[in-house]
Structure 1
Amino acid sequence: MTTISRVETFLVAPRWLFVRVETDDGLVGWGEATCEGRSETVRTAVEQLSELLIGRDALRIEDHWQVMTKGSFYRGGPILASAVAGLDQALWDIAGKRYGAPVHQLLGGPVRDRIRVYGWVGGDEPSEVRDQIAARVEAGLTAVKMNASGRMSPLASVAELDAVVQRVAAAREVLGEHRDVAVDFHGRFTLANARRVAPLLEPYRPFFLEEPVVPENSHLIGEFVRSTTTPVSTGERLYNRQEFLPVLQAGIAVAQPDLSHAGGITEVRKIAALAETYDVQLAPHCPLGPIALAACLQVGFATPNYLIQEQSIGIHYNLGAEVLDYCVDQQPLTFVDGYVQRLTAPGLGIEIDEQAVRAADKRGHAWRSPTFRHLDGSYAEW
C-alpha cells in the first residue's frame, strides 16, 4: 500500500497555494488549492482534510474524494472545493508516478496530441488593447481573452457601451480573421447591460462571451443565451456538476470549471462528461500557477470535448513570480504556434522546484481582490 504520510501547504507569490503530499515510500505529489483572495482560509481547510488522508492508501483517489466532499454535514462552497481540488491533484500526481505514466494515460489515454492555449490581455483604451494583443500574437498565441469593460453602471451609458465595442473592434483589427478573441464580462454586467451589448459585438465574431451574469444569478443566463448568436461561456465560480447542470440546460456553449476550485481532476472529469451530453465544450479557467495548468492539460489530453486552455504566463496578476519560475524544466509548459504539446512525464508531467517553493513560502503573500465602487459610492462588481 502506498500510504500517505505527510501533507504540507505553501503560500507562494504571486497569489497561489501549493499542496505537497508525501507517501511512506517516498513518492511526492503536488496540487494547487489556490482560491484567489482566500488562500489562507483554504490552507486551514487543507490541514483539516489531511486528517482524513494521513495513514491511508494514496491510490484510493475516488474514495478520498467522496469522503472529503461528503464526510461533513456542511458541504460545498469555494473554500472546501478548492482544498479538495489541491489534494485531489496531488493524489493523481502520486498515482501517475506510482504507475510510471502521465495522468491522462490513467484517464483512458490521449485523444489529442496538443492543446490550444490562450492568454489574457488588458488595457482600457483601444490603443493599449492593440499593443498587448500584438505582443501576444508575436509570442505565438492564436487566441486571447479580454475584459469587456472595467466598472459598469447598472444601466450603462452610451459612452460605456461604445467603449466596449471599440475595444473589441480594436482586438479584431489586430487579430484578423484567423485568430480568436474571447470577451469576458466578468460578472460586472447586469442582465440588462449584457443583453444590450451582446448584439453590438456580433459583427466582430467573439470566440465566446464569458460570465455575462454573476454565478448566483445562473438562473438568468438562459435569457442572455437567447439574446445573442455568439457562444456563451461560464463556470469559473461553479464548483460541482450540480451547479453546472442548470447552465448547461440553459444553453451555454462552453463550460469553464477551474481545476483548483471545482474539486480537482476527479470532479472536472465528471463535469466534462456531463457537458458532453449537452454538446458543450470545455475550456477550463486557469489564471493560476504551473500545477493548476498541468492538471488542466492532463484532463484535456484525455477529454474529447476540450476546446482550449487558459494560461497566465505574463498576466498582470503575476507580481513577484511567474508561472514557470517554480518549474525545474520549463519546456513542458511552453507553447509553440499557440499550442502546448502532450505532456509525457509521469504524474502531472512537470517537476516542481521544491527549494524555490519553500523559499517563496517564507515570504508568503496576501493577495486580495480589488474593490470597485460606482460613482455614487455603492459597491460595484469586480
Structure 2
Amino acid sequence: MKIERVETFLVPPRWLFLRIETDEGMVGWGEPVVEGRAHTVAAAVDELSDHLLGADPLRIEDHWQTLSKGGFYRGGPVLSSAVAGIDQALWDIAGKARGVPVHELFGGPVRERVRMYAWIGGDEPAQAAEQAEARRRQGFTAVKMNATGALGALPTGAELDAAVERVGAVNDALGGPGGTAVDFHGRLSPAAARALCRELEPLRPMFVEEPVVPELSFELPRICSSTTIPIATGERLYSRWDFRDVLASGIAVAQPDLSHAGGLSECRRIAAAAETYGVAVAPHCPLGPIALAASLQLDLATPNALIQESSLGIHYNVDGDLLDYLVDPSPFTLQDGHIERLTAPGLGVTVDEAAVRRAAERGHRWRNPVWRGPDGALREW
C-alpha cells in the first residue's frame, strides 16, 4: 500500500482538514491547523507531502521522525501542526487497514467512556451562568469559561471581584463546585494570576488554565506553589521537549493539542511523560470533529486522561459546527456527561467528504481578534 494523494480543505468556521488516500483506496483524515494561520499550515502540509507520496502509510513512526526532524529547522506551531494532521490521518488509515479503532493499536482501552466539557461565555465571559445552565441541560457536567475579558497589566479590584462573581454563578448553575474550569488565557501577569487564584480558591474550580503566556512558563512553579487550585497548561506547547520543564513545575494537568503538538504519536509520549510527574492529561480541542475523534482515541488508551474538551456550540462555530462534517454524529452522543468508547475502525468517525468539499468551496479566512486597551496598547487575547 502506498500514499497516492494528499489534499487539504479550508472549511468554516476556522478549520483545516486533511485527506490522505492510498493506491488501494484507503482514506485517512486529519486536522492540521493553527487557528488564524490555516493557509500557512496548508502550505506546510503541501511541502511535507513530497516525502509522503509513494510511501507506505503504515510506517507512521518513521514518517513522524522524518517530517519532524528531517529538516534542519524544526519545531514551532506551523510545522508541528502540519505533522499533527498528517499523523492523525496515518493512524486513521492504520486502524482502518486492521479493522480496529486506533486505541486498540495503543494497547486497548483503559476506560469505557470519557468525561466531556464544553465552552461557555465567549471571549468576553458574558452570560456565563445562563450558558452553564444550558450546557447542563444538554447533558454536560463540566464547562470551561474565560475568567476575564481584556486586562491591563494590573487588574483592578473590581475586575477581580467580577471574575470571582462569574465563577460562583457558574458553580451555582451546575449545582455546586467541581465542574467549572477557569481559563486565564494567558491574559494575566504572574502577580495578577497569583492574586486571582487566591480569590478563586473558596470556589474550588476544577482547574485554572494557562495562568500566564507560555513565554513566562518559568513563573509556573511560583504560581503553582501559591495556590491550592490545580493548574493546567499546554495548548501552546508543541512537543515533549516544550513540556519537559513545565511538567516539573508543579502543574496538575497537561493540555497538549492533538492538532498542534505532533498528533497522536507525540501526544501519547507527552501523556506518558506527564504520568511520571503525577500530572493528568486533558487534551485541548476547541476544533473540529477529526481533532476530537483523535483526542478521544488518546483518552481511551491513556491511564492519566482526566477530561476532554469539545467545541460543540463554541462561540467560534458560526458558519459550521462540530457535527456538520460527519456522516453519522452518533459517536459523539453525550450520555451523563460522557462520550462512550468509539468502536469504529480508525479514528472512529466517518467524515462526510461531500460536505467537506462543498464547504471548502467557501473556505474561510478566520483571524483571532486583536485587542487594545483604552490607551491603544496591545492586550492579550
With structure 2 as the length reference, what TM-score do the two structures score? Answer: 0.98
CA distance in 2, matches of 1:163, 1:6: 52
Residue aligning to 1:235: 234
Structure 1 residue 36: Cα displacement: 0.2
Please give the residue correspondences for 1:292-307 in structure 2 after superposition, counting only pairs within 5 Å.
Answer: 292-307=291-306
Residue aligning to 2:14: 15
User: Is this contact kept in 1: 2:177–2:203, CA < 8 A?
Assistant: no
SS in 2 for 1:350: coil
CA distance in 2, matches of 1:356, 1:51: 27
User: 1:96-137: CA deviations, max 9, x gaps?
Assistant: 000000000001100000000000100689881111000000
Residue aligning to 1:4: 3
User: Is this contact kept in 1: 2:118–2:143, CA < 8 A?
Assistant: yes
Counterpart AA for 1:117: M
Please give the residue correspondences for 1:1-382 in structure 2 after superposition, counting only pairs within 5 Å.
Answer: 2-122=1-121, 128-177=127-176, 179-382=178-381
CA distance in 1, matches of 2:36, 2:125: 29
Structure 1 residue 179: Cα displacement: 4.9
Q: 1:178 to 1:228 in 2, by over 3 A?
A: closer
User: Is this contact kept in 2: 1:142–1:179, CA < 8 A?
Assistant: no
User: Is this contact kept in 1: 2:171–2:177, CA < 8 A?
Assistant: no
CA distance in 2, matches of 1:31, 1:267: 15
CA distance in 1, matches of 2:47, 2:371: 33
User: Is this contact kept in 2: 1:225–1:252, CA < 8 A?
Assistant: yes
SS in 1 for 2:344: coil
Structure 2, unpaired ranges of 5+: none
User: Is this contact kept in 1: 2:188–2:211, CA < 8 A?
Assistant: yes
Q: Which moved more, 1:153-162 or 1:119-128?
A: 119-128
SS in 2 for 1:250: coil
Structure 1 residue 158: Cα displacement: 1.1
CA-based RMSD = 1.1
Q: Which moved more, 1:173-182 or 1:62-71?
A: 173-182
Structure 1, unpaired ranges of 5+: none
User: Is this contact kept in 1: 2:177–2:204, CA < 8 A?
Assistant: no
Q: 1:126 to 1:271 in 2, by over 3 A?
A: closer
Structure 1 residue 178: Cα displacement: 6.3
CA distance in 2, matches of 1:273, 1:193: 32
Structure 1 residue 223: Cα displacement: 1.1
User: Is this contact kept in 2: 1:125–1:167, CA < 8 A?
Assistant: no
Aligned length: 381
Structure 1 residue 159: Cα displacement: 1.0
User: Is this contact kept in 2: 1:126–1:166, CA < 8 A?
Assistant: no
Structure 1 residue 176: Cα displacement: 2.2
Counterpart AA for 1:338: G
CA distance in 1, matches of 2:123, 2:224: 26
Q: 1:346 to 1:147 in 2, by over 3 A?
A: same
Q: 1:32 to 1:126 in 2, by over 3 A?
A: closer
Percent sequence identity over matched residues?
62
User: Is this contact kept in 1: 2:124–2:146, CA < 8 A?
Assistant: no
Which stretches of structure 1, 4 residues or more, deviate above 6 A after TM superposition? 124-127
Counterpart AA for 2:146: N
Q: 1:179 to 1:141 in 2, by over 3 A?
A: farther
With structure 1 as the length reference, what TM-score do the two structures score? Answer: 0.98
User: Is this contact kept in 2: 1:32–1:89, CA < 8 A?
Assistant: yes
